[in-house]
Amino acid sequence: MPAPKKNGLQTVWFQNPPVIISTATIVGNKEGQGPLGHTFDKVVEDNYYGENTWEKAERRMLKEVMQNAIQRANLQPQNIDYLLAGDLLNQIISADFVARDLGIPFIGLYGACSTMYEGLALGAMLIDGGFAEYVLVGVSSHYSTAERQYRYPTEQGTQRPLYASWTVTGAAAAVLARQGNGPVITHATIGKAIDLGQGDPMNMGAAMAPAAADTMARHLLDTQRQPDYYDLFITGDLGTYGRELALKLMQQKGYDISNRFSDCGVLIYSPDQDAHAGGSGCACAGVVTCGYLMQEIKAGRLKRILGVATGALLSLCSYQQGETIPGIAHAVVIEGR
Amino acid sequence: MAEVKDSQPLEIQKKEYQKMVQEIQPKPTLGRNVFWAFVVGGLISVLGQLFLNFFQARGLALPEAGAATSTVLVFLAALLTGLGVYDEIAKFAGAGSIVPITGFANSMVAPAMEYRGEGLVLGVGARLFTVAGPVLVFGIVTAWIVAILYYFFR
């Protein structure tokens, strides 16, 4: 017997769609200067954010957005049933240490840059399954912490290829609730880890595009919807070239979404900001969703969107040992109410 | 046009996808990169020559003047790395700023700054040569091989 709340192979639907009752965002200087700069709650000029290491700065950003999101929902940390959080650092230390400070029952997540949507999907399942009244979801990333873990020291003189992306410095959090006011999550499609043999850690858009296309097509099949059902398909951090690849792959699967397909990584920086292909990192999909997209939905300019956060599942060790990069993409339907 | 169909075997999908990636991927701006590498690399060399001439004019013999020149260049590169300028130069100079001795200095100062947070011994001490280490290892190995060849075939 199929699970009662499952549609098709990979999609779940929510009987009482969980509500996103509050969100909070914080970004670094570069993101603040980008085209979406005005949509974020706070722009931090100093990448150390008053701390002595970048890791501590990232943690401080994550803690601050979580506290803000709780406060805006008129709640206290003890009202929250679960904290779902993750980041890019080894053993997700940003999320771990913030969880230590907040004292909320904590489920640590790792979905690389897809973690925000992994959290939204799981949070919605916990609430609609009757296991939680309130769930707090949060993610963070920081250009300098990611750069030193995955690539080179930041002051190292290197030339980045044009298809490379730029890790977004920032953090985002959202409070999901069983009832309340705000946009709702009606469906979630959990993606498969898909590897079409791309191995260049600088070209994550190419590694993730097949997963994004697979999840989007699977979602449409599972829900038996046509692309025009949604005002917008928005991926997390495919970047300029990854977005084009995903568009082509979708066409080959028989779906034309070219007039309604955007990418958070493309939106967050302008071409003159030297970010090359665009933004990446957990915070990329996080801050664009919790900032810009929420505002557009609340203002009624977007009614139904399919958010698809994408992640490149690699580590320093895996690519040094010559492994290719599996991609992952989780989709969540957000509707204005 | 490359076509990646789910119905194809995975190996074919991978090949077709690789073709598609190649079609869409931006071409590196080779001409511009080579030009700037030449200009910046050349300027660093000219700077070195000026120092060399200066030290020789002040009475140092060629080997000593060379050592003094290297010291000055390394100092300048370390200073510019600390000020956060060197990586900005390298962004468009590429190999022009990596290959000269200044690039070597940059590759040691950058991790030294980066890993200060992990302590002096296991941070700075252990990571100082993360980028420069391979250059040293293979440089020294090459020197051995050349020396052995030289010994037998001179």
Q: How many domains in chain B?
A: 1
Per the CB < 8 A criterion, the answer to whether A80 and A123 are in contact is no
Q: In terms of residue numbers, what domain contains A279?
A: 184-335
Q: Verify that A198 and A277 share a domain, yes or no.
A: yes
Q: What is the pLDDT of residues A211-226, one digit of tens each?
A: 999 999 999 999 999 9
Name the residue in chain B with its Cα closest to that of A151. B131
Does residue B19 fall inside a structural domain? no
Q: Verify that A167 and A26 share a domain, yes or no.
A: yes
Task: Kindly list the residues from chain B whose CB atom is less than 8 angstroms away from the CB atom of residue A245.
Answer: 20-21, 24
Residue A101, H or E segment = helix A93-102
Task: Kindly list the residues from chain B whose CB atom is less than 8 angstroms away from the CB atom of residue A153.
Answer: 110-111, 113-115, 130-131
3-class SS letters over chain B: CCCCCCCCCHHHHHHHHHHHHHHHCCCCCHHHHHHHHHHHHHHHHHHHHHHHHHHHHCCCCHHHHHHHHHHHHHHHHHHHHHCCCHHHHHHHHCHHHHCCHHHHHHHHHHHHHHHHHHCHHHHHHHHCCCCHHHHHHHHHHHHHHHHHHHHHHC
Quick check: A249 contacting B, CB < 8 Å? yes
**In sequence order, what are the beta bridge partners of A123?**
none
Q: Verify that A120 and A135 share a domain, yes or no.
A: yes
Q: Verify that A95 and A163 share a domain, yes or no.
A: yes
Per the CB < 8 A criterion, the answer to whether A293 and A234 are in contact is yes
Give me the pLDDT at residue A246, please.
97
Name the residue in chain A with its Cα closest to that of B124. A153
Does residue B83 fall inside a structural domain? yes
Name the residue in chain B with its Cα closest to that of A253. B5
Mutate to test the interface with A, among B7, B8, B17 (most CBs of A within 10 A): B17
Give me the pLDDT at residue B4, please.
83
Angle of helix A239-252 relative to helix A204-223, nearest 10 degrees?
40
Q: Verify that A22 and A62 share a domain, yes or no.
A: yes
Does residue A96 fall inside a structural domain? yes
> Given the structure tokens 């001409």, which residue do they identify?
B31
Does residue B57 fall inside a structural domain? yes
Please indicate whether, in this complex, the C-beta atoms of B90 and A153 are within 8 angstroms of each other. Answer: no
Name the token pair of A61: 């950003």
Please indicate whether, in this complex, the C-beta atoms of B86 and A155 are within 8 angstroms of each other. Answer: yes
Q: Choose one of A135, A152, A177: the last residue of a domain.
A: A177
Please indicate whether, in this complex, the C-beta atoms of A155 and B89 are within 8 angstroms of each other. Answer: no
Please indicate whether, in this complex, the C-beta atoms of B24 and A55 are within 8 angstroms of each other. Answer: no
Q: In terms of residue numbers, what domain contains B97?
A: 30-153
Q: Verify that A238 and A315 share a domain, yes or no.
A: yes
Give me the pLDDT at residue B1, please.
60
Q: CA A197: distance to chain centroid?
A: 23
Q: What is the pLDDT of residues A25-40, one digit of tens each?
A: 999 999 999 999 999 9
For A248, the closest of B20, B92, B93 (CB atoms) is B20
Give me the pLDDT at residue A157, please.
83
What average pLDDT values come out for chain B (154 residues) when binned by 10 residues? 80 94 90 94 96 95 95 96 93 91 92 89 89 90 96 91
Calpha distance A285→A139 (Å, rounded): 9
Q: What is the pLDDT of residues A37-66, one digit of tens each?
A: 999 999 999 999 999 999 999 999 999 999
* Confidence band, pLDDT 50/70/90 cuts, at residue A188: very high
Size of interface A-B (CB pairs under 8 A): 95
Residue A195 pLDDT more than 80? Answer: yes
Name the token pair of B26: 């931006």
Instruction: Write the CB contacts of A27 (distance below 8 Å, at least 6 apart in sequence).
Output: A37, A40, A42, A43, A44, A168, A169, A170, A283, A287
Domain of A42, CATH number, reads: 3.40.47.40
Does residue A1 fall inside a structural domain? no
Please indicate whether, in this complex, the C-beta atoms of B33 and A159 are within 8 angstroms of each other. Answer: yes
Please indicate whether, in this complex, the C-beta atoms of A159 and B94 are within 8 angstroms of each other. Answer: yes
Calpha distance A88→A140 (Å, rounded): 8
For B28, the closest of A52, A157, A161 (CB atoms) is A161
Does residue B110 fall inside a structural domain? yes
Q: Verify that A112 and A250 share a domain, yes or no.
A: no
| CB-count burial class (<10 Å; 0-12, 13-18, 19+) for B70 | middle
Per the CB < 8 A criterion, the answer to whether A326 and A201 are in contact is no
Does residue B116 fall inside a structural domain? yes
For B3, the closest of A55, A198, A252 (CB atoms) is A252
Q: Verify that A40 and A140 share a domain, yes or no.
A: yes
Residue A89 pLDDT more than 80? Answer: yes
Quick check: A160 contacting B, CB < 8 Å? yes
Does residue A225 fall inside a structural domain? yes
Give me the pLDDT at residue A182, please.
97
Using an 8 Å CB-CB cutoff, list residues of chain B that contact chain A: 3-6, 13-14, 17-18, 20-21, 24-26, 28-29, 33, 81-82, 84, 86-87, 89-94, 97-98, 103, 106-107, 109-111, 113-115, 117, 130-131
| CB-count burial class (<10 Å; 0-12, 13-18, 19+) for B152 | exposed
Does residue B12 fall inside a structural domain? no
Does residue B132 fall inside a structural domain? yes
- What is the signed CA dihedral for A74, A78, A84, A88, rounded to 10 degrees? 90
Give me the pLDDT at residue A3, please.
92
Quick check: A47 contacting B, CB < 8 Å? no
Task: Kindly list the residues from chain B whose CB atom is less than 8 angstroms away from the CB atom of residue A157.
Answer: 81, 86-87, 89-91, 93, 97-98, 103, 106-107, 110
Please indicate whether, in this complex, the C-beta atoms of B4 and A203 are within 8 angstroms of each other. Answer: no
Name the residue in chain A with its Cα closest to that of B30. A161
* Confidence band, pLDDT 50/70/90 cuts, at residue A151: confident
Residue A155 pLDDT more than 90? Answer: no
Q: How many domains in chain A?
A: 2
* Confidence band, pLDDT 50/70/90 cuts, at residue A85: very high
Does residue A135 fall inside a structural domain? yes
Q: Choose one of A177, A201, A221: the last residue of a domain.
A: A177
Quick check: A254 contacting B, CB < 8 Å? no
Give me the pLDDT at residue B137, please.
94
Q: Verify that A47 and A168 share a domain, yes or no.
A: yes
Task: Kindly list the residues from chain A whose CB atom is less than 8 angstroms away from the CB atom of residue B14.
Answer: 196-197
Does residue A203 fall inside a structural domain? yes
Q: Verify that A219 and A152 share a domain, yes or no.
A: no
For B24, the closest of A148, A198, A245 (CB atoms) is A245
Does residue A291 fall inside a structural domain? yes
Q: Verify that A240 and A288 share a domain, yes or no.
A: yes
Calpha distance A239→B84 (Å, rounded): 27
Q: Verify that A171 and A275 share a domain, yes or no.
A: no
Higher pLDDT, B3 or A203: A203
Task: Kindly list the residues from chain A whose CB atom is less than 8 angstroms away from the CB atom of residue B97.
Answer: 157
* Confidence band, pLDDT 50/70/90 cuts, at residue A159: confident
For A156, the closest of B28, B94, B106 (CB atoms) is B106
Task: Kindly list the residues from chain A whose CB atom is less than 8 angstroms away from the CB atom of residue B13.
Answer: 196
* Confidence band, pLDDT 50/70/90 cuts, at residue A148: confident
Q: What is the pLDDT of residues A238-271, one digit of tens each?
A: 999 999 999 999 999 999 999 999 999 999 999 9
Higher pLDDT, A328 or B129: A328
Does residue B104 fall inside a structural domain? yes
Q: Choose one of A161, A177, A193: the last residue of a domain.
A: A177
